């Protein structure tokens, strides 16, 4: 029984990080209907920034988000303005974004491979080898710190979307883009800002990934599959859904890894993606799909 509770706690401490990783992808899809296949590549690029900040200047990876988030925010806005407005009027906009961001992911993978080679890397601040002990249970400090910081960032995102004028404009655009434009929302400006925020969240996620996992340039393909499973389970475009889906699948994956070995954990996400599309395509908290 103790072991089962311990596995549950370990799953929870990764769930918050998964939720942060999925939140940027969910926000981008919710506002602009962009399926950003390059989101995992953005996370890895930020992970490399955090890694080299730690290796060269001893900047703690958790503090590195103070520069990874602004850098990725500006990069995201620039990429959006460069690539997406010219196809915004297309009737096949969403499907075109899949191909466009797929190509972007390949380009970013090639650039990272050229700059950093295919060596596995991971930052190793002192807390990555320590744990918080309480009774018969323990929590790895790295996962605990990362999840707490992720929850703080998600809370700030919620407050921003809920209580600021710009946040309300983003939510209005997510609910009905045409109606938001009619009442005076500059949807193009909001879309650029939302893409930047989503990419900034990928930057924060990359700072966490840099010390929680080993990574190399092609690792983003595994991450994008995981993230798509999280947001489809929660409901495409639903931020609360992505958080619920992240914690749920993180715990299930932890149990699957405990009973059958860690190599089986990724199956959780792909199986969940298959089943939710088969049984409930709108996800747990998403809107019912219309023809």
Q: How far apart are the C-alpha atoms of 4 and 213, rounded to whole Å? A: 23
Residue indicated by tokens 């900034």: 200
Q: What one-character-per-residue DSSP string does 40-93 give?
A: HHHHHHHHHHHHHHHHHH---TTTTHHHHHHHHHHHHHHHHHHHSGGGTT-TTH
Q: Would you state the pLDDT for residue 291?
A: 41
Domains of the chain: 2-279 (1.10.3470)
pLDDT, tens digit (0-9, with 9 covering 90-100), for 146-184: 999 999 999 999 999 999 999 999 999 988 888 998 888
Q: Would you state the pLDDT for residue 287?
A: 65
Contacts of 47 (CB under 8 A, 6+ apart): 206, 207, 209, 210, 215
Q: Would you state the pLDDT for residue 237?
A: 81
Q: Would you state the pLDDT for residue 252?
A: 93
What is the SS3 assignment for 131?
strand
Q: Would you state the pLDDT for residue 288?
A: 60
pLDDT > 70 fraction of the chain, expressed in percent and rounded: 98
pLDDT, tens digit (0-9, with 9 covering 90-100), for 201-251: 999 999 999 999 999 999 999 999 899 999 988 888 888 999 999 999 999
Query: Is-contact 244 196, C-beta < 8 A?
Result: no
Does 282 score more than 90 pLDDT?
no
What is the SS3 assignment for 113?
helix
Q: What one-character-per-residue DSSP string does 155-185 give?
A: HHHHHHHHHSHHHHHHHHHHH-HHHHHHTT-
Q: Which of 118, 145, 119 is nearest to 13 (CA)?
A: 145
* Average pLDDT, integer, range 111-132: 94
* Average pLDDT, integer, range 32-54: 96
């Amino acid at each position: 029984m103790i072991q089962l509770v311990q596995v549950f706690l370990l799953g929870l401490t990764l769930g918050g990080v998964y939720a942060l990783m999925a939140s940027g992808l969910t926000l981008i899809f919710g506002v602009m209907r962009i399926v950003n296949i390059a989101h995992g590549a953005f996370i890895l690029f930020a992970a490399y920034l955090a890694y080299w900040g730690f290796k060269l200047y001893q900047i703690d990876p958790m503090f590195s988000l103070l520069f990874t988030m602004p850098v990725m925010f500006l990069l995201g806005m620039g990429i959006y303005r460069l690539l997406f407005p010219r196809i915004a009027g297309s009737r096949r906009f969403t499907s075109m974004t899949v191909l466009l961001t797929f190509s972007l992911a390949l380009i970013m993978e090639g650039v990272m491979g050229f700059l950093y080679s295919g060596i596995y890397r991971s930052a190793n601040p002192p807390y990555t080898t320590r744990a918080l002990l309480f009774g018969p249970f323990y929590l790895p400090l790295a996962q605990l710190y990362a999840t707490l910081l992720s929850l703080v960032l998600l809370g700030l995102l919620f407050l921003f979307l809920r209580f600021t004028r710009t946040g309300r404009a983003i939510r209005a655009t997510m609910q009905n883009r045409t109606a938001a434009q009619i009442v005076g929302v500059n949807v193009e400006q909001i879309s650029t800002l939302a893409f930047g925020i989503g990419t900034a969240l990928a930057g924060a996620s990359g700072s966490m990934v840099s010390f929680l996992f080993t990574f190399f340039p092609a690792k983003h393909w595994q991450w994008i599959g995981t993230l798509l499973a999280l947001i489809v389970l929660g409901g495409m475009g639903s931020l609360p859904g992505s958080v619920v889906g992240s914690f749920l699948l993180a715990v299930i994956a932890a149990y699957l890894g405990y009973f059958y070995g860690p190599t089986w954990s990724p199956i959780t996400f792909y199986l969940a993606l298959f089943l939710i599309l088969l049984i409930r395509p709108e996800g747990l908290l998403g809107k019912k799909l219309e023809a």
